[in-house]
Amino acid sequence: MLRLSLVAAALLSLGEGVLATLQTCGSAQYDPSQYVCWGNQFLCPVTAGEPLSYCAGACYSKFMYKCSNNVLTLLPAVTTPFQLVVSNPTLPIDGQPVTAGGQHWNLGGTTSSYCPTQVGSACPAGTSTSMVASGGSVSMNVMVPGGQQAYLDPYWNMGYTQAHSAYIPPGSITTGFGAYQGGGFVNLNGNGWGWVACPPQASGGGGTQWNLVAKNSTNAASLSSCTAINLKIIPVPSGTFGAWQYT
Ligand SMILES: *[C@@H]1O[C@H](CO)[C@@H](O)[C@H](O)[C@H]1NC(C)=O
């Protein structure tokens, strides 16, 4: 299986007229842009720009798992609010935050928020976007009564409710999210196809903003211009809010 995909990768490179510089891992040869070699013995793929780690026979993502005493375990759930940043070193938006705007999670760009003047000095800065997760659900880290629930909309983009409204578009999904301490924010719906970042003009995107889309078995083909990413969790202190409300 591994050997077959290595051959396929080599042929692909030849077809493009660019033969990748192969390295050796034990007796195997590999393309270091696609695989990482552990202990001169084990190959793990690079996915979403992350060279997967190795634990007793398994390759794993540090955005979701840890390896302790050769046993792979899920990272603990994050218990504080958090911000999210894009992780994929091959993209220009690597390290840029997920920002709330237009009831939508965008990649990069600026946070859109509002605070009524009556709230005065109690208004949070509202310049960064943070979330809270619990029990598989995620909501915006806001002060407004009723909160703002986040969800996968019918296009598998991430959206959130308007302040003072519980309206969620029919066909949206509000559960099945994992938020891991020291790791990432993961969509567990649709068998783990992961997140992609779509460049501004690509399908699934709109306007001038990079867009976040959750990939699945049916939309994967239409997202070929998008690139797999991880969303890294940056914890913020408990009891702090990102905004009064996001707009
Ligand atoms: C995948 O996402 C698309 C939207 O991009 C949605 O219409 C479809 O129902 C989803 N497929 C599955 C298997 O959930």
* pLDDT score for 208: 72
Count other Cβ atoms within 10 Å, centred on residue 139.
18
Q: Are residues 142 and 190 in the same domain?
A: yes
Torsion of CA 176, 180, 186, 189, to 10 degrees: -20
How many domains would you assign to the chain? 2
Given the CA of residue 222, which atom of ligand 1 is nearest to it?
Answer: 5
Residue 12 maps to a domain: no
CA of 225 to the centre of ligand 1 (A): 17
Q: Are residues 139 and 93 in the same domain?
A: yes
Q: How does pLDDT run along the chain (247 residues), one tens digit per residue?
A: 344 344 444 444 444 445 679 999 999 999 999 999 999 999 999 999 999 999 999 999 999 999 999 999 999 999 999 999 999 999 999 999 999 999 999 999 999 999 999 999 999 999 999 999 999 999 999 999 999 999 999 999 999 999 999 999 999 999 999 999 999 999 999 887 999 999 997 555 456 789 999 999 999 999 999 999 999 999 999 999 999 999 9
List alpha helices for the chain, DSSP H.
Answer: 2-15
Q: How is residue 234 written in tokens?
A: 């940056």
Q: Which residues line ligand 1 (CB under 6 A)?
A: 155-156, 190, 216-219
Mutate which of 173, 193, 218 for ligand 1 pocket (most atoms within 8 A of beta carbon)? 218
**DSSP one-letter code for 102:** S
pTM score: 0.89
Residue 141 maps to a domain: yes
Q: Are residues 125 and 58 in the same domain?
A: no
Residue 14 maps to a domain: no
Q: Output the CA–CA distances (angstroms, integers) from residue 161 to 49, 104, 131, 138, 165, in the order listed.
A: 32, 9, 13, 11, 6
Report strand pairing: 71-74 vs 65-68.
antiparallel
Nearest to 242 by CA among 127, 163, 133: 127
Residue 74 maps to a domain: no
Q: Are residues 185 and 241 in the same domain?
A: yes
Full domain range(s) for residue 62: 21-69
CA of 209 to the centre of ligand 1 (A): 22
Mutate which of 156, 172, 215, 224 for ligand 1 pocket (most atoms within 8 A of beta carbon)? 156
Q: How is residue 85 written in tokens?
A: 């940043």
Q: Are residues 120 and 214 in the same domain?
A: yes
CA of 31 to the centre of ligand 1 (A): 33
Are 126 and 105 in contact by the 8 Å Cβ rule? The answer is no
